[in-house]
């Protein structure tokens, strides 16, 4: 296939087709997927802004009996995501070309046990001339607050949201989660010690009254490159949100 790269996730456990000139799946997708903890065997999972399936393919590898759906606004990326699911033998995953700002939804509200999402992370700045990258990077027809509100609507009562975004968006995210979501946990992610936090992983539960928790930071690198713990996560290890301080 022209203009398509052949890449891998989870230490080559997952084969990934991607467009050369589009936004590429990054370590953010693997980090987010590694933070998801599901006890319900046949859970219904929704990946909002799925791209070519980075997050949800990692989840499909771990949760063989889950029912996984992905929404992606760009049809060519949704088609690639379905191809990726087929190539990896994941018949429990389906990607739909869907604008979450649309009034017409293929799935009813309040129908998912888990929603995972990596929203467009910049609300301003220089827009890429590449349409695909611009859609992935910049909030355009929908705000971050509206994006999160949609995710919340799709969750069942007591359903859980898992989200990764830039650290600077924390205030906006917490505002968007209130008052419907509780039990919020915030994991700050640093490239290395003494740097500023670049990313945050946030989890929250619908209708929960539990207090917010700030977790110990996760440092991805040391002076020699990725830490062993980071390398293990990128190869499929589950990220323990309760013990991140012990894994750096």
pLDDT at 102 over 80: yes
Is residue 228 a part of any domain in this protein? yes
Is residue 76 a part of any domain in this protein? yes
Is residue 47 a part of any domain in this protein? yes
Is residue 245 a part of any domain in this protein? no
pLDDT at 9 over 90: yes
pLDDT given at position 22:
83
The pLDDT tens digits of the residues spanning 39-77 come to: 999 999 999 999 999 999 999 999 999 999 999 999 999
Is residue 201 a part of any domain in this protein? yes
Domain encompassing residue 216: 12-234
Domain count, the chain: 1
Is residue 248 a part of any domain in this protein? no
Exposure string for 181-205, b = 16+ CB within 10 A, e = fewer: bbbbbbbbbbeeeeeebebbbbbbb
pLDDT given at position 128:
46
pTM (two decimals): 0.91
Is residue 3 a part of any domain in this protein? no
pLDDT given at position 217:
95
pLDDT given at position 121:
72
Domain containing 29 — which CATH number? 3.40.50.150
Is residue 1 a part of any domain in this protein? no
């Amino acid at each position: 296939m022209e203009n398509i790269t052949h890449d891998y996730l989870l230490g080559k456990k997952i084969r990934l087709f991607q467009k050369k000139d589009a936004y590429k799946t990054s370590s953010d997708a693997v980090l987010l997927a590694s933070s998801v903890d599901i006890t319900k065997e046949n859970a219904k999972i929704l990946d909002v802004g799925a791209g070519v399936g980075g997050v949800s393919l990692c989840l499909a590898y771990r949760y063989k009996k889950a029912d996984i759906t992905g929404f992606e606004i760009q049809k060519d990326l949704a088609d690639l995501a379905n191809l990726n699911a087929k190539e990896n033998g994941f018949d429990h995953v389906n990607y739909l070309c869907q604008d979450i700002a649309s009034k017409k939804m293929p799935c009813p509200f309040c129908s998912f046990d888990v929603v995972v999402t990596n929203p467009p992370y910049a609300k301003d700045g220089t827009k890429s001339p590449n349409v695909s990258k611009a859609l992935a990077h910049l909030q355009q027809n929908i705000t971050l607050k509206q994006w999160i509100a949609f995710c919340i609507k799709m969750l069942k009562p007591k359903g859980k949201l898992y989200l990764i975004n830039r650290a600077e968006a924390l205030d906006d995210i917490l505002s968007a989660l209130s008052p419907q979501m509780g039990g919020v946990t915030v994991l700050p992610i640093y490239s290395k010690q003494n740097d500023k936090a670049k990313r945050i992983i946030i989890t929250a539960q619908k209708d929960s009254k539990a207090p917010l928790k700030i977790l110990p930071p996760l440092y991805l690198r040391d002076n020699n490159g990725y830490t062993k713990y980071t390398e293990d996560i990128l190869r499929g290890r589950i990220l323990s949100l309760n013990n991140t301080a012990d894994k750096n």
